[in-house]
Amino acid sequence: MKKETIAAISTGMSNSGIGIVRISGDEAFEVADRVYRGKHKLSQCGTHTIQYGYIWDNKEVIDQVLVMVMKAPHTFTGEDTIEIDCHGGTFVVRRVLEAVLKNGARPAEPGEFTKRAFLNGKMDLSQAEAVIDVITSQNDYALKSSISQLKGSLKNRINDIRKRIIYHTAYIESALDDPEHISLEGYADQLRKDALSITDEIGHLIDSADDGRIMKEGIQTVIIGKPNAGKSSLLNVLTGYDRAIVTDIEGTTRDVLEEQISLHGLNLNIIDTAGIRETDDIIERMGVDKAEQYAENADLLICVVDASRQLDENDDRILQFTFHKKSIILLNKTDLEMAVNVEEIVNKLITLWKTRENSINSGKMPEIPVIMISAKEEKGIREFEDKVKELFLHGDISFNDEVFITNARQKSDLKDAMDSMKKVLKSIDDGMPEDFYSIDLMDAYEALGRITGEAVGEDLINEIFSRFCMGK
């Protein structure tokens, strides 16, 4: 059965040096031959060659082009593929596509080229999802992680775990079918050992999801502090321009300001909030409430303390937030006469923690770095940046050895697999019959198969690829 031949523009729709129109399908060469004029017909050219010629629409020359000829199965989609490299003006690229569509191709749906690559066995689902992650990556770590998955790092890890699970499932089923020749005596102990190992591996992948999300989406960073502590000045220093209005008037920032910066290969999605203090002003109160909400959901809290003013009850309230998140306290305005120092901040944290611990028994106080800075004179900023890297990146990351889950769907499937493996362990500990093991092992096997696409329905596949850009 022939598949429809599809075509789309595979480059951004803006004026540029080159634009690419991609054609894929069983009749890709026939369609291309109808619009291309050159020394040879494209269907007669060798695979993985580049031909020079012209694109015609009826009797009109549209553009002078280079055409890449790629024959199945050694192509991205696994199908015959033609890529027309034309001049990159938006009008001419559209004209080339229109000519192709008039001569037998249909418009490709979003992500349909990659979907065909998946359906034709050129990549698994985790690799297909890595394609869009490569396209949308915004920092070095996100790109390296996506390339690692595109090369099959996650697929290989998942397939290895699934092989171990299916081995035990097959052994149990065989023993139950032929108990005279295959014994299950003592097998539960062996299975328990392997199930614990598999559970640990799945747990490690789940734990990597937070790091993976940060690599992909960036660190949700919230700046909190009293009014006029220097939060907006810090934002301006970090972004490199006057993003926020800075005045000596307290409460200048009433709403949140958002900005993204790159820091040591990671993205910081920085939110500058209204100063936190007790106030009767309704509008300012709304800003304070919003600041506290953002603080609750942050990956990183930057708590700015004004070193030129004594600590008060508002500082106590603000410092309490640092116990819940990864936090850095910046003692700002050190260019002025200092009314508070690092030792006082640390002692204040200890006092607040002890008061908190007495009421909720929360254990050891987290280590919260305190750094002296002057946003006005841009002092201490490098130390702050190094501390952020230290908090979120523990040494150099090797993407050859590590796999980072950057996809919520994959994390959910891993959790399902983990739950099933825990049921296996409980059945073993409870002395349940071996067929109970087999049921839960197969559930774990199926959950992991959803990650690589071996156990997913058509609706999910269509939903995943609908998020892709056109032409990919």
pLDDT tens digits along 423-467: 999 999 998 888 888 999 999 999 999 999 887 777 878 888 887
CATH architecture for the domain at 232-241+256-274+286-392: 3-Layer(aba) Sandwich (3.40)
User: What pLDDT is stored for residue 289 in this prediction?
Assistant: 73
Distance (Å, whole) CA 77 – CA 24: 7
Domain ranges of the chain: 6-123, 129-213+403-465, 232-241+256-274+286-392
DSSP letters, 101-142, are HHTT-EEPPTTHHHHHHHHTTSS-HHHHHHHHHHHH--SHHH
**Which top CATH class is 129-213+403-465?**
mainly alpha
Q: What is the pLDDT of residues 367-401, one digit of tens each?
A: 899 999 998 898 999 999 889 888 886 544 555 55
pLDDT band at 417 (very low <50, low <70, confident <90, very high): very high
Q: Which residue is it, tokens 């006005």? A: 376
Name which of 263, 268, 260, 271 is nearest 296 in CA terms.
Answer: 271
Distance (Å, whole) CA 154 – CA 136: 19
Q: Label residue 113 left, alpha or beta by phi (over 0 means left) and psi (-120 to 50 means alpha).
A: alpha
User: What pLDDT is stored for residue 280 in this prediction?
Assistant: 61
- Give the SS3 label for residue 350: helix
Distance (Å, whole) CA 211 – CA 444: 24
User: What pLDDT is stored for residue 250 in this prediction?
Assistant: 46
Q: The pTM is what? A: 0.72
Q: Which two structure tokens, joined as six digits, stand for 358?
A: 């007495």
Distance (Å, whole) CA 321 – CA 316: 9
Q: What is the pLDDT of residues 74-92, one digit of tens each?
A: 999 999 999 999 999 899 9
Q: What is the dihedral of CA 370, 375, 379, 383, to 10 degrees?
A: 40
- In 153-297, which residue ranges form alpha helices assigned H by DSSP? 153-177, 187-217, 231-239, 282-296
Phi then psi for 371, rounded to 5 degrees?
A: -125, 130
Which whole number is the average pLDDT over 285-298?
Answer: 78
**pLDDT at 320 exceeding the cut of 50:** yes
What is the longest distance spanned by two Cα atoms in the chain? 88
Q: What is the pLDDT of residues 137-166, one digit of tens each?
A: 777 777 777 788 888 889 999 999 999 999
Q: Which two structure tokens, joined as six digits, stand for 158?
A: 């998942």
Name which of 404, 424, 409 is nearest 467 in CA terms.
Answer: 409
Q: What is the pLDDT of residues 13-52, one digit of tens each?
A: 888 899 999 999 999 999 999 999 999 999 999 999 999 9
The one-character DSSP state at 87 is: E
Which whole number is the average pLDDT over 209-225?
Answer: 80
* Residue 273: count of CB within 10 angstroms of its CB: 25
Which whole number is the average pLDDT over 260-271?
Answer: 80
- Give the SS3 label for residue 203: helix
Q: Which two structure tokens, joined as six digits, stand for 302?
A: 């930057």
CATH architecture for the domain at 6-123: 2-Layer Sandwich (3.30)
**pLDDT at 419 exceeding the cut of 90:** yes
